[in-house]
Structures are given as C-alpha cells and as structure tokens.
C-alpha cells in the first residue's frame, strides 16, 4: 500500500464501530462496577439486588455503542462529503480483522463459560454466576476490540 506522506489515512466504518464499542463497553462496565463493589463491601452477596443494575449497564453499553457509531458516521459524512459515501464497503482487510478478533474472543468466552458452569455445579450464589458471565463477555469483547484496533493501526 503506497501512500504519499501527505495523503490522509482515514478510519473505516468498521474501525470506528470497534472504537465506539470498546469505549461504551468499558464505561458501562465501570459504572456497574462502581455500583456493585460498595454493595459487596456492605452486604452479603445473597442480599444484593444485582440483576437490574447489570441489565441496565449492559443495555446502556449496547445503546451507547449504536448511538456513538451513528454520530461518528454523521460526523464523517459531514466532514468528508461525497468521499465518505464511497468508503462504505467492507473490504477483505475488514473481514480478516473481524475473523481474527472472533478467533481470539471465542476461546476467552469458552473458558469463562466453563468457569460459570463450574460455579453453577458447585452451587455458588447467583450473584457470582451472573457476574462471572458478565465479566467473561466483557473480557472477550475488550480483548477482541483491542486486537482489532491493533490490526487496523499496525497491520497483520
């Protein structure tokens, strides 16, 4: 890929979506963690009402991801004009980066869900089972996003 030094290097739509997903997931998980840790310090885990806050944190992360991705696309179209409309297609590089990200996230999810099964088999409190499942999804998604960003920025 030969590019002149002064030619701008634009992010693809796929890369912008990865960035928005990563930022929103981290913020929503941090908000949930900021709520749940003081509860764990004050109460026994069996008495903590964690399901609704976890649901709202997850939903907020998803909605945030969509909203931020849409806002970023609007900003790009306004700034680049007709040039942005021609850069909408997903190319081979985007697909390969997506595949590599999934290849990393899948074993992370599998390992975390195995931990969830072990907790369930041992009769652990629902709090621990639910939070390990949440943490598993978060770690897998963050690892996938970081790998994708690295591949977009530095190549294969």
Alpha carbon of residue 113 to chain centroid: 17
Q: Record the pTM.
A: 0.83
Q: What is the full per-residue pLDDT of the chain (156 aa) written as tens digits?
A: 555 555 556 788 899 999 999 999 999 999 999 999 999 999 999 999 999 999 999 999 999 999 999 999 899 888 887 666 656 667 888 899 999 999 999 999 999 999 999 999 999 999 999 999 999 999 999 999 999 999 998 887
| Residue-range domain boundaries for the chain | 13-154
Please tell me the distance from the alpha carbon of residue 156 to that of residue 152, in angstroms, as a whole number.
8
Sign of the alpha-carbon torsion through 110, 112, 114, 117: negative
Task: Return the residue matching tokens 């975390």.
Answer: 112
Please tell me the distance from the alpha carbon of residue 124 to that of residue 118, in angstroms, as a whole number.
9
Collapsing DSSP to helix, strand or coil, 55 comes out as: helix
When computed from its CA atoms, the radius of gyration of the chain, rounded to whole angstroms, is 19
């Amino acid at each position: 890929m030969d590019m002149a030094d002064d030619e701008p290097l634009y992010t693809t739509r796929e890369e912008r979506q990865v960035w928005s997903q990563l930022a929103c997931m981290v913020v929503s998980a941090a908000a949930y963690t900021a709520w749940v840790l003081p509860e764990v310090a004050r109460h026994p885990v069996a008495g903590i009402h964690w399901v609704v806050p976890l649901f709202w944190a997850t939903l907020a992360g998803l909605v945030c991801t969509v909203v931020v991705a849409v806002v970023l696309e609007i900003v790009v179209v306004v700034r680049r004009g007709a040039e942005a409309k021609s850069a909408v297609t997903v190319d081979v590089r985007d697909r390969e980066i997506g595949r590599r990200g999934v290849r990393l996230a899948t074993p992370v999810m599998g390992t975390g869900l195995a931990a969830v099964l072990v907790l369930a088999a041992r009769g652990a409190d629902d709090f621990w089972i639910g939070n390990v499942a949440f943490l598993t999804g978060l770690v897998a998604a963050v690892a996938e996003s970081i790998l994708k960003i690295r591949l977009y920025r530095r190549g294969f």
